[in-house]
Amino acid sequence: MAAAPTTRPAAVTPRPAWTGAGGPPPRVLVVEDEALLALELETGLRELGCEVVGPARNLAEARRLAEAEPRLAAAVLDVNLGGGELVFPVADALAARGVPYLLATGYGSAGPLEGRDAGAVAVLRKPYQRAALGAALARALPGHAPG
């Protein structure tokens, strides 16, 4: 009689946790109107050990979440939310509160940015790699570090 095949549990890669400040993981607002991109961004942020607020898929929802969440550490904001909506009112409100933000855009140097990126910690050009997200987030949260 043949022995039953043995199976090993799949290797589990530990999630890095953000360290620093001794508090809870940073809460990051996600504003992205494309569902698949929002899901990928959420996954990337969670893998970095962040708590995700959102995603907001339009300007009204983004404003509501930004105003309702007192513990935002940072935000990742899609510039063009479709239907002619641009995310800059939310970026301005976050900047007024001292919340650093990253802008994500599929446009080149022209397009809706037109100088509005000056307040952003970084501009992520779509499609961007998770390493670029992590590096930009590390600049936005200098008191924290992944891992």
Reported CATH class of domain 24-142:
alpha beta
β 18-19/145-146 pair status = antiparallel
Question: pTM to 2 decimals?
Answer: 0.83
- pLDDT at 62 (0 to 100): 98
- pLDDT at 14 (0 to 100): 37
Cβ-based neighbour number of residue 21 at 10 Å:
11
- pLDDT at 43 (0 to 100): 97
Cα-trace Rg, the chain: 18
Which portions of the chain are predicted below pLDDT 70? Answer: 1-22, 109-111, 144-147
CA 39, CA 68: separation in Å to the nearest integer? 22
- pLDDT at 12 (0 to 100): 36
- pLDDT at 9 (0 to 100): 41
CA 51, CA 67: separation in Å to the nearest integer? 17
- pLDDT at 135 (0 to 100): 96
- pLDDT at 73 (0 to 100): 97
- pLDDT at 47 (0 to 100): 94
Q: Where are the domains of the chain?
A: 24-142
